[in-house]
Chain A
Amino acid sequence: MATVPGISAPTAPRYSPVVKTSAAFVAVAAGCLLFADISITTLDPWSEMKRIAWGAVTPDFGAVAGLGMVVLQTIAFALCGVALGAVGGFLLSQVFHLGAVRWTCASVRAIHELFWALIFMQVLGLSPLTGVLAIAIPYAGICAKVYAETLEEAHLPALRSLPSGTGIVSAFFFVRLPDVWVHIKNYTSYRFECGLRSSAVLGFIGLPTLGFYLETAFSEGNYSEAAALMIIFYLLIATLRYWMRPKLVGLYVLIAPFLLGGGAAIDMSNIVRFLTVDVVPAPLRGGGLLEGRTWSGLGDWAGTLLIDQALPGMVATILLTQIALVATGVLALALFPLVSKKFFGPVTRTVGHVFLVVMRSTPEFILAYIFLQLWGPSMLPAIVALSLHNGAIIGHLVGRFSDEVRLRPDSPRGINLYGFEIVPRVYGQFLAFLFYRWEVIMRETAILGILGIATLGFFVDSALADIRLDRAIFLIAVMAAFNVAVDALSRQIRNRLRLSTRAGQA
């Protein structure tokens, strides 16, 4: 073959930064696998699995006493929490340019709803307010960020043609807000779906939502009852767009607070004690602030906590996160063809959609809880749960994206179509979605510690069980800092690889 003189053909392929980054993440995950604790410790996982499968096909809707009320309360907690979070987030988005606000929002959303619930439980007891605040606070943080970014994208030419002298309030409501209103509305309704999941999961720590009854059913081995609860939950999410009408939202929000149920009365002295005694590191309590002994005690306290708990907790959290991240990616790439018009006909796609909807509607926490019952405590249930849930979310988004790819008429089929035409085109988008999920996966990994996997959540849970709130808060703060760091790292990688997408929903 003739070559252009002076230009020698490269002899080895050159890999793009995107491929190199992916390979690095896979290598890190493989390294993590060497140190991860993966095992099945239950004696007979198969027979238990059979019983669960049998329960799944024989749901017993009669078994749950007051099923209607459970559903209503699950919705009510989500509504109150998300409404408060969205309004708070909207107000914060107006001052989001202030560094202090940005940092506060980043920190509050780095802490999982369940951790917030555990903290408020110490202060407010098992009151409805605990559940509502546990959803509202992290959601305000995330909504503030997304709303602020969305508002920044508002169309500017319309602002330019406003008469001079138009007030900022009028300009905001006539130009900025209407221009992005659809995005804000869509994002908020997506948040409400997340809120339903959060609300359900809050039941696991005692609030009267779906999770509470689910855990009871599971621990008693009533798998038919558990199946009924899960099916109700899927129906709730699948029918969301039929009952969550924009015109009815106001009415719902007005009714919801009355459905939260009563609870322990809020005790002011509890709150005061929490803020002035419980959260203060033990060595500082009663110690003279001018004595050197107090401060060296504090140093020892923090050092011991860091080395004995935060460090092993963090190592386990990172190992698990990196493995789950790559497993999520692999699963998403494997699953997306199931819902893509480029690969399958309507029948297979429908099956694929049902599978993905079920997987992404089931909170990671509940999936992990189920696998834990099956396989016993190790990292395996957590890895499978996280990758199934997140893989289904990303698979769904990538599948939808692949439908928009335009192929030439004589393009290849099957695996060649997958490898040469589709994956190279959707890979950037896929990676962007995956990196957006990174921080979410880490936050979720930490919380799975409550189930007995030795991530940071395990140590937080133990500290709370020992009523050592100072330690719990310290560990939560360490975790939040790590989460903010991962978020920043993910953003940096996305920028370097020029991955961008409207991934508000990822």
Chain B
Amino acid sequence: MLFRLNNENLGYDGAAVLRGISITVSAGERVALVGESGAGKSTLLSVLQDRYGGNTALIPQEPGLVRSLSVFHNVYMGSLHRHSAAYNLLNLVWPRQNEIKRIRPIVERLGLGEKLFERAGELSGGQQQRTAICRAILQGGDAVLGDEPVSAADNHQSRAILAALSDTFETIILAMHDVDLALEFSTRIIGIKDGGIALDAPAGDLTRPDLDFLYRD
């Protein structure tokens, strides 16, 4: 298995948001975290990132871009750890052709091809989100952790993004607000409510009404 939490209390600065959490995620699973906003999905993801960040790509909710750099540079950042500092600086000042060739298909697949050399700060919210996804795709690794990565995308784009992530990462854990999309895309649903895990089942065993209770007071 790739991720494991065993009866843990999770939270910031000692204040637990989630209590008694036990999860095991194995390679090959596609997990959707669902629940009301503020339920603790982000907390869970950031704990997993802190513990298992080694070979895991991250798509934060706030896309975490450097606004003054281009889309190319922001995506290139996903490969900073693979190159020497000197090569990275060279690309910062003067992007190399082979890096552009590597990055172009990734951004084109998510519809950002024409924005490759525009500054991230000038993009729309959805385009920034897709830039962050491209960075995670270039980074690659065993798994990806995404906090609402399709919150600013329409249905069609969302499916394209999820397909691209599935092609790159064997294991995926995403916080999602669109329950139908979560059921369609994931192999396993984890529902969070009242500071704990209220539901953990294979997506195939569930239908939409089974999840409604997560969003009820």
Chain A positions near chain B (C-beta within 8 angstroms):
155, 157-158, 160-167, 169-171, 173-175, 178-179, 181-182
From B54, B62, B80, B141, contact of A166 by CB (8 A) = B80
Determine whether the beta carbon of A167 is less than 8 Å from that of B80: yes
User: Cβ of A174 and Cβ of B68 under 8 Å apart?
Assistant: no
* Inter-chain contact A174/B66, CB cutoff 8 Å: yes
Could you tell me the distance between the alpha carbons of A163 and B81 in the complex, rounded to whole angstroms? 6
- CA–CA, A175 and B81, complex, Å: 13
Cα–Cα, bound, A452→B47 (Å):
67
User: Does B191 count as interface, using CB distance less than 8 angstroms?
Assistant: no
B44 located at the interface, meaning its Cβ lies under 8 Å from any Cβ of chain A in the complex: no
A interface, over-half SS? helix
Say yes or no for B1: interface residue by CB 8 A criterion: no
Task: Check B79 against A163 for contact (C-beta < 8 Å).
Answer: yes
Instruction: Tell whether, in the assembled complex, residue B79 and residue A174 are in contact, meaning their CB atoms are under 8 Å apart.
Output: no
Also in contact, A163 and B139, with CB within 8 A (given A174-B92, A181-B68): yes
Q: List 30 A-B contacts (CB under 8 A).
A: A155-B66, A155-B67, A157-B63, A161-B60, A161-B77, A161-B132, A161-B135, A161-B136, A163-B77, A163-B78, A163-B139, A164-B53, A164-B54, A164-B55, A164-B81, A165-B81, A167-B80, A167-B85, A167-B88, A170-B81, A170-B83, A171-B80, A173-B85, A174-B69, A174-B73, A178-B66, A178-B73, A179-B66, A179-B67, A182-B68
Instruction: Assess the B64–A173 pair: CB atoms within 8 A.
Output: no
Q: Residue B211 at the A interface, CB < 8 A?
A: no
CB distance from A352 to the nearest CB of B (A): 34
A162-B66 Cα distance, complex, nearest whole Å: 11
Among A165, A166, A167, A178, the residue within 8 A (CB) of B69 is A178
User: Whose C-beta in chain A lies nearest to the C-beta of B87?
Assistant: A170
Of the listed residues A155, A174, A175, the one surrounded by the most CB atoms of chain B closer than 10 A to its CB is A174
- Given contacts A157-B62, A167-B81, 7 further A-B pairs with CB under 8 A are A157-B64, A163-B139, A169-B88, A170-B88, A174-B76, A178-B66, A181-B68
Question: Of A163, A169, A175, which contacts B66 at CB under 8 A?
Answer: A175
Of all chain B residues, which has the CB nearest A180? Answer: B68
- B residues 19-68 near A (Cβ < 8 Å) are 53-55, 57-60, 62-68
Cβ-based interface call for B100 (8 A)? no
Size band of the interface chain B makes with A: 20 to 34
B53-A174 in contact (CB<8A): no
Q: Which residues of A lie under 8 Å from residue B62 when comparing CB positions?
A: 157
Q: Is the CB of B68 within 8 A of A179?
A: yes
List residues of chain A with CB within 8 A of the CB of B60.
157, 160-161
Chain B residues with Cβ under 8 A from A167's Cβ? 80-81, 84-85, 88
Chain B residues in 8 Å Cβ range of A181: 68
A339 to B163, CA, bound (A): 57
Whether B89 is near chain A, meaning CB under 8 Å from some CB there, is yes
**Which residue, of B68, B84, B132, has the highest number of chain A Cβ atoms within 10 A?**
B68
Chain B residues with CB below 8 A from A169, complex form: 85, 88-89
The chain B residues found within 8 Å of chain A, CB to CB, are: 53-55, 57-60, 62-69, 73, 76-81, 83-85, 88-89, 92, 132, 135-136, 139, 141
- Shortest distance between the CB of B60 and any CB in chain A (Å): 5
User: Looking across the interface, which residue of chain A has its beta carbon closest to that of B139?
Assistant: A163
In-complex Cβ contact of B64 among A158, A174, A182 (8 A): A158
Contact A173 B68, beta carbon cutoff 8 Å: no
Known: A161-B60, A163-B139. A170 touches B80 (CB 8 A): yes
- Considering the chains assembled together, what is the distance between the CA atoms of A476 and B67 in angstroms? 45
* A158 CB contacts on chain B under 8 angstroms: 64-66, 77
Q: How far is the CA of A179 from the CA of B89 in the complex (A)?
A: 15
Closest CB-CB distance, B8 to chain A, in whole Å? 21
A444 CB to nearest chain B CB (Å): 35
Tell me the minimal C-beta distance from A157 to chain B in angstroms: 4
User: A167 to B79, alpha carbons, bound, how many Å?
Assistant: 11
* Interfacial chain A residues near B92, Cβ < 8 Å: 173-174
Decide: B68 and A178 in contact? CB cutoff 8 A.
Answer: yes
Q: Chain A residues with Cβ under 8 A from B139's Cβ?
A: 163
Q: Assess the A163–B80 pair: CB atoms within 8 A.
A: yes
B132 to chain A: which residues have CB within 8 Å? 161
Residues of A within 8 A of B83 (CB): 170
Chain B residue numbers with a CB within 8 Å of A171 are 80
Chain B residues contacting A157 (CB-CB under 8 Å) are 60, 62-64
Closest 7 CB pairs between A and B?
A: A165-B81, A169-B85, A157-B64, A161-B64, A170-B88, A166-B80, A163-B81
Cα–Cα distance between A101 and B72 once the two chains are bound (Å): 37
> Would you give the shortest CB distance from A215 to chain B, in whole angstroms?
44
Contact residues in A for B88 (Cβ distance below 8 Å): 167, 169-170, 173-174
**Of listed A155, A161, A171, A178, residue having the most chain B CB within 10 A:** A161
A175: chain B residues at CB < 8 Å are 66, 77
Query: Known: A157-B64, A174-B88, A178-B69. Contact between A166 and B58, CB under 8 A?
Result: no
